[in-house]
Structure 1
């Protein structure tokens, strides 16, 4: 018997196509460097750095149209593991994570490791406990999976409604961060940049759905990673003579430790549940870089890891992306790649923070305001830094804009201005990856689980795709409106989103696979109780009622969701035999995709009825 490779439909020229894209992007960078040296007007350079890559993204998206549902909703299930992992790794925290976490590392040091550890652990849990089984089932959305797993339309509709809240928070955070970077780059208002980002998403999504979004998103993710890596790698060569900033900043830390001790930078012992992440805007360096538990208490550190872990692992806008791989084996590989990419991004963010502190240390050693270097005055003029001019200078003399630390490094190193513009364009690219992941996920849920939520049989092909296109565009516009009116710190929006996603979906998804006794009553109780308790905890935290920060809502939401699911399942009748058979089949990695088989059988029954 002949055996056909599972990856037979993977395009063998993908490497060539993306090699051309990378060459074009780097060629644009080199061309603008030449134009800068020739004295080209700065606004022209800024707009070219923003619009050049966006035109490439749009061209890639428009070149992959489709009219087939399996292509539109799952990219034909033929996306290689490396590209799937790249998209998931960048979309997990998006531009918000890259920009804000860099600033958090700089201001509070290694207390920010809880965010990095939580993300890495989330990918591990997703790989081991959730993603392969979701891929075997093969549905395009989390609500579709839960509805079929429990044979319950109310479960499907409830999951669709609850998913919208954390996804919209994530969408708003990404749009705000991208608009801030794009607005600084172009000098336009954030509303104009948000409109440009929404238009870019609509153009890349309207014809090809997940097929075009996957390839355009891969290009955006590559651009974001390059924009992050290139400036800091150049700085690493300048400072350490070695082009691996993630591994070569250790010697700088030793000098930093001595300097911070000599300047009397405090070692703080935070209370167990203190969670004092730097907020949006200007903030002083709060503590020594390597001293633990100064801004985030020991218990809060652990709870933050669990919050990010469960939020990433059960993210209803990340898990469906694994259905685009050719098989279960490739799904596991893709999440391995996602872990590598995410770890590389986080280590690079930490390296940027170390190099920036090193540059600040050189100023502090001089101690005289009159000896401030030109690059520091440039940062002040850009609005990235505020200085207390009283002598002598120390670490507390400088207030840094948290979300501008990443952009400050090229200026501090004396690199050409084009590298600064390149970094800002990379932030916009990362934001587009996050926008694509969340907006497409909500759009698919509206098309599959809301409009058609009371029927297991999907709409006719053309109507199904039209509804999905309209839903994606509508959600992108709604997200833009939320981003404009929501004044909250994007990092807090991200953490709330992860807390809500983890509290609502993590217990139910894990138990749906690993506990056959769980039924539809348990799923409803688990999602409703986890979501409600997490929302109340966030509100109470913001009102300072419980003494627990709202970002730590999972400390109560996760136990509530788990208890609700378990107790309700035990107190109600057992699942049917067909549900038990379905769970058993989900756990078997080989064989036909369950969702594809069921759709094929529904189409056959429909043809029989029509004939």
Structure 2
């Protein structure tokens, strides 16, 4: 048993013990604790938890690798995800918090006075979160598989056991404080290597300022190795695909149910806005670092690995080949590893770079712990959201409205356990790389929830028939395009499966608007309720006027 294994295991086990301890200490004792953490989380802590929930395995493990392999085209992920978060923070999160429900399907059901809308919303939530969770569990398998030097499938099963335990125990209350701890672990684990690489390669410890120098050298390196230029736009897809992917991620972010529900855990509408502001700050630390991470990793691979004798490759290559995520073949038989003969999955770039750059066993162990924190934090939030849809929206609000607190908690915990196991089994043989699977989840959210929520908050004429038609048609169009593009080779203007949300959202908006206009308008009470959402929490819209809520009947304006 080598020292690296012992150090990495120590980091992993210490972080696992921390998460489990937090979950036990914060065991949910009521449905309010289980679903919205008692609505008592402060904006700063909630922003940190949102950051952990948001910075999933796709962000931590996959994003830098995607940018490294795709170059300019990979920037669509950063711009789409960041833009979507701004949209969510300003256009939806405060208004949904003011409405005061537990889940997104519950908002839809009550806003549109429709049990059918709530049920369809719950089904859409399960589909979106289940798809997303496959990517997260697959990511945990990559990390644990490398650590134990076993197949990634075994690592996935270990991750399933851990998530099932702490998510089932603590509910949203436990998940919130677990995610705060996970954010601290993951952001430390992400920043330490990129700072050390910057210092090692450029002599400057500030990677955000130094990596531009490395990028300027890529043109000559690319020409020498005969590969496409790193910053040449649209070399891995069309301009339409770039824009469609960016829109899909942006709209999907604003419609992701497991992210939206985090804004329900704060006490007020104002706190929801501040949660979004803090979250953007915490998320920026990773998103601004990802391009630097990608540039340094690519530079090291080009200058220190490509061109080496096959017999003298560094030891780390053997370890990663065993995980199935790295392939090396001397295709031309010259005994030298060419750049084209190195096939590295984007899912392992962040994990492998500390070894590639020889940063030492402590940094490697820290990155392993950070990657696990990223995968587990998001997976835990997804499982809570699936549980909410099953236990609250379907079981309590539809099947058994008279269920007591104890039974509702029991159903919620069993829902998490079953959902985690099923998602874990699918993740044993994932249908794509982490960022691709996650993009599908965003596309599904863009096609179903984004039109429903935007029109539900900002268009008072939208009615139950419209939102049902919009969600069903938007979801169907998105799913159809994903399957047709991935398995049938069908594309429109070069837009592949990861850009499917563009078509789903367009169909969802169009169906919602046309059906709403063709059917009776909602009641006056319902329309005033929608208008009321747009005003600060201490103001109420009624009888065509805006009034202060705090004891006075003073009319505004």
Is residue 2:294 matched to residue 1:353?
Answer: yes
Q: Is it true that 1:427 corresponds to 2:368 in the alignment?
A: no
Mean CA deviation greater in 428-437 or 230-239: 230-239
Q: Aligned residue for 2:277?
A: 336
User: What is the Cα deviation at residue 484 of structure 1?
Assistant: 2.3
State the match for 1:525 in structure 2. Answer: 469
Q: 1:545 and 2:490 equivalent? A: yes
Counterpart check, 1:307 vs 2:252: no
Residues 11-33 of structure 1, C-alpha deviations (whole Å, 9 max, x = no match): xxxxxxxxxxxxxxxxxxxxxxx
Structure 1 residues 162, 593: closer, same or farther in 2, change over 3 A? farther
Change (3 A) 1:338 1:585: same
Look up the match of 1:250: 212
- Per the alignment, residue 382 of structure 1 pairs with 320
Deviation at 1:368, TM superposition (A): 5.6
2:537 corresponds, among 566, 573, 590, to 590
SS state of the match for residue 399, structure 1? strand
Residue aligning to 1:219: 181
Residue 56 (structure 1) aligns with? 18
Q: Does residue 400 in structure 1 map to residue 338 in structure 2?
A: no
Q: Could you tell me which of 30, 45, 51 is aligned with 1:83?
A: 45
Q: CA deviation at 1:246?
A: 2.5
CA distance in 2, matches of 1:387, 1:206: 45
Q: Which of 184, 197, 203 is the matching residue for 1:235?
A: 197
Aligned residues: 532
SS at match of 1:488: coil
Measure, in 1, the Cα distance between the counterparts of 2:170 and 2:62. 32
Give the Å deviation of 1:196: 3.0
Say whether residues 1:142 and 2:104 are aligned partners: yes
Counterparts of 1:591 and 1:192, CA distance in 2: 53
Q: Which contiguous aligned blocks of 4+ residues in structure 1 show a shift greater than 6 angstroms?
A: 372-375
Cα deviation digits, residues 347-392 of structure 1 (max 9, x gap): 322211111222234348xx8644x897745335532462646388
Q: Secondary structure at the match of 2:124?
A: helix
Matched, 1:170 2:132: yes
1:562 pairs with one of 475, 491, 509: 509
Counterpart residue number, 1:132: 94
Distance 2:400 2:467 in 1: 18
Provide the residue aligned with 2:552 in structure 1.
none
* Mapped contact 2:143–2:351 kept (Cα < 8 A): no
Answer yes or no: is 1:498 the counterpart of 2:442.
yes
Alpha carbons 1:368, 1:391 under 8 Å: kept:
no
2:456 aligned residue: 512
Give the superposition deviation at 1:503: 0.5
**TM-score, normalised on structure 1?**
0.82
Higher mean C-alpha deviation, range 406-415 or range 158-167: 406-415
Q: Map 1:404-419 onto structure 2 (within 5 A).
A: 404-419=348-363
The aligned residue for residue 272 of structure 1 is none
**Alpha carbons of 1:462 and 1:305: their partners in 2 closer, same or farther (altered >3 Å)?**
same
* Aligned pairs (5 A) from 1:115-126: 115-126=77-88
CA distance in 1, matches of 2:335, 2:159: 45
User: How far, CA to CA, are the matches of 2:303 and 2:452 in structure 1?
Assistant: 52
Which stretches in structure 1 are left out of the alignment for 5+ residues? 1-38, 266-286, 595-611
Tell me what 2:426 maps to: 482
Aligned equivalents of 1:387, 1:42: Cα separation in 2: 27
Indicate conservation of the 8 Å contact 1:170/1:494, yes or no: yes
Rounded to whole Å, the distance in 1 between the matches of 2:173 and 2:291 is: 34
Q: Distance in 1 between matches of 2:429 and 2:76?
A: 30
**For 1:454, what is the secondary structure of its paired residue?**
helix
The structure-2 alpha-carbon separation of the partners of 1:194 and 1:261, relative to structure 1 and needing over 3 Å to count, comes to closer
Residue number in structure 1 paired with 2:393 = 449
Task: Give CA-to-partner distance per residue, 1:520-557, whole Å, 9 cap, x none.
Answer: 00010010110011111111112113454122212321
User: For 1:42-53, what aligned pairs fall within 5 Å after superposition?
Assistant: 42-53=4-15
Partner SS, residue 216 of structure 2: helix
Give the distance between the partners of 1:418 and 1:398, measured in 2 at CA: 27
